[in-house]
Structure 1
Amino acid sequence: MAYVVTESCIRCKYTDCVDVCPVDCFREGENFLVIDPEECIDCTLCVAECPVEAIYAEDDVPPGQEEYIALNAELARQWKPIVERKEPLPDAEEWAKIKGKLDQLKR
């Protein structure tokens, strides 16, 4: 069972999770991160590091966000790995609590 990055990460892109990942399973888009389900070893380290609580075990993804399971798998095949922490997006704090951001995702 892999972990999944959900909606809360869109337009925030905090990378605290990247620092603790022992297998470099995160992939980076312009305004979102995903987890490669083929690389994730289910260690749970990233969950506690996410300041916007965007990361869930695949079986625990909140209702209404199940589409992020497939989205992580799809985008992980397209995006490049991110292995070092970076600054969050400039307006991350403003976007952190906003719901319904899928239309904001830049592929």
Structure 2
Amino acid sequence: MPFIVTEPCIRCKYTDCVAVCPMDCFVEGPNFLAIDPDGCIDCSVCVGECPVGAIVNAAEATPEQQPYIELNARLAKDPRWKPIRRPQPPLPDHIDWREVRDKRHLLESAD
């Protein structure tokens, strides 16, 4: 089962995970990253790199995280979401959003 990016990433978009992914399976949107489940080899190296704990194994997703399994798969196939292979700075106001919960409604799917 692949890994998925979950709610804590929204409005932060840290990319430390991108630097260590051996398969380049991350894609990016305006304020969130997703993992392409077809490219993920379940190596888990990205998990420890996320400063907000947004990456989890899909097989271990909590009920609240379950919708992100489908969301990651769908966004990974969206042509507006492009592969990201190099780290970038987080969003300008990332500090304000690190600890915020219940922010799924703030996810922007594309410009």
Q: CA deviation at 1:41?
A: 0.4
In structure 2, C-alpha distance between the alignment counterparts of 1:91 and 1:63, rounded to whole Å: 28
RMSD between aligned residues? 0.6
Q: CA deviation at 1:94?
A: 1.0
1:82 aligned to 2:84?
yes
In structure 1, C-alpha distance between the alignment counterparts of 2:43 and 2:72, rounded to whole Å: 17
Q: CA deviation at 1:62?
A: 2.4
Alignment partner of 1:92 out of 86, 91, 94: 94
Identity of aligned residues (%): 56
Specify every segment of 5 or more residues in structure 2 that has no aligned partner in the other structure, as ranges. none
Q: TM-score, normalised by structure 1?
A: 0.98
Amino acid at match of 2:49: E
Q: CA deviation at 1:88?
A: 0.2
Q: Deviations over 1:44-85 (max 9, x none)?
A: 000000000000001111231210000000000011100000
1:2 aligned to 2:2?
yes
Alignment partner, residue 69 of structure 2: 69
Q: CA deviation at 1:9?
A: 0.1
Equivalent runs, 1:1-107 vs 2, <5 Å: 1-78=1-78, 79-107=81-109
Specify every segment of 5 or more residues in structure 1 that has no aligned partner in the other structure, as ranges. none
SS of the residue corresponding to residue 45 of structure 1 reads coil
Q: Which runs of 4+ in 1 moved over 3 A?
A: none
In structure 2, C-alpha distance between the alignment counterparts of 1:49 and 1:2, rounded to whole Å: 16
SS of the residue corresponding to residue 4 of structure 1 reads strand
Q: TM-score, normalised by structure 2?
A: 0.94
In structure 1, C-alpha distance between the alignment counterparts of 2:62 and 2:51, rounded to whole Å: 17
